[in-house]
Amino acid sequence: MKPAASLLAFTTLSGLGLGLLVFLSLGLPPVSGWGAFAFFAISFLLAGGGLSISALHLGRPERALKAFREWRTSWLSREAWASVTALGLTGLYALPLLFDGPRLWPIGILAAAACIATVMCTGSIYAALRAVPRWHHWSTPAMFVAYAVTGGALLAGQVTMAMALLAATGIAQFLAWRTGDARVARRFGTRNTATGLHGHVRLFERPHTGENYVTEEMVFVVARKHATKLRSIALVLAFALPLVLLALPFSHLLGVAAVLSHAAGVVVARWLFFAEAEHVVGLYYGR
């Protein structure tokens, strides 16, 4: 699939933002006043910014509100509801804190759940696509949540938890790639099933000599050797390096570096998430 910049930005930023909100809503760290303002501002900028960037991906952004309609079947619609709920609840939770008011625990817990639900919805949008076997698995939303909370823990300065999560998510990502590879090999279908033809089937001519919406969106091919290299880079940047940085004696600078390294790693991993996800339609275009 095409790793569109808007989707990379949207999933990365909103994941980090919502992840941070999860922690803030659970009082980790227990911010208030200007501290709360700063933390919530960052998290809202990330989450809200990410979500609004997602509207850029729409052909008709002015009609974005229609997306709330089909929550009964569509994960995208559910994501819309979940995100509004999450932002609403975290807002409700944050508001008193800004004025050093009370910490509304029940709302905080609900807000954290809504943030996680939002990220789960995002992941489920992809996981629901049977036509993309690499995504079509429970691990897809799980990894989205794992990334979000890991990033959130980092941003929230929860060093120990962050270290644990970094290690766990890193390993999980490694396993997810491996199982994803196996799933693709198993479930992708073949040019024979795609065409119903027997014998060795090979694309002779594309229907049109140029590209089209489908090839541009869905027939993005990343060379295998690049993928392996990028996977290593993603693992190092997103997990290994931040772990090392956190393991060093604490300093804010190192903390910031860990966050930046993680964010960069997430971008690479997200790029791979899209770029490596092959759509079965590729079978009609010479995969």
The residues of the shown chain that bind other proteins, judged by CB under 8 A, are 1, 57-61, 63-64, 66-70, 72-77, 80, 125, 128-132, 187, 189, 191, 193-214, 216-218, 279-281, 283-285
Cβ(57)–Cβ(4) under 8 Å? yes
Q: Least distance from C-beta 61 to other proteins, angstroms?
A: 8
Q: Least distance from C-beta 85 to other proteins, angstroms?
A: 16
Q: Least distance from C-beta 231 to other proteins, angstroms?
A: 23
In sequence order, the 6+-apart residues with CB closer than 8 A to the CB of 140 are 123, 124, 126, 127
Measured CA to CA, the distance from residue 89 to residue 84 in angstroms comes to 8
**CA 34 to chain CA centroid, nearest Å:** 29
Q: Which is nearer to other proteins, 102 or 210 (CB)?
A: 210
Measured CA to CA, the distance from residue 158 to residue 151 in angstroms comes to 10
Q: Least distance from C-beta 130 to other proteins, angstroms?
A: 6
* Nearest by Cα to 173 from 266, 44, 95: 266
Measured CA to CA, the distance from residue 100 to residue 31 in angstroms comes to 9
Cβ(41)–Cβ(63) under 8 Å? no
- Encoding tokens for residue 90? 């975290």
Measured CA to CA, the distance from residue 144 to residue 140 in angstroms comes to 6
Q: Which is nearer to other proteins, 111 or 280 (CB)?
A: 280
Q: Least distance from C-beta 50 to other proteins, angstroms?
A: 16
Measured CA to CA, the distance from residue 81 to residue 83 in angstroms comes to 5
Q: Which is nearer to other proteins, 183 or 231 (CB)?
A: 183
Q: Least distance from C-beta 148 to other proteins, angstroms?
A: 21
Q: Which is nearer to other proteins, 195 or 232 (CB)?
A: 195
**CA 186 to chain CA centroid, nearest Å:** 25
Q: Which is nearer to other proteins, 187 or 229 (CB)?
A: 187
Measured CA to CA, the distance from residue 127 to residue 226 in angstroms comes to 24
Q: Which is nearer to other proteins, 153 or 219 (CB)?
A: 219
Q: Which is nearer to other proteins, 45 or 56 (CB)?
A: 56
Q: How many residues does the chain have?
A: 287
Q: Least distance from C-beta 287 to other proteins, angstroms?
A: 12
Measured CA to CA, the distance from residue 138 to residue 256 in angstroms comes to 32
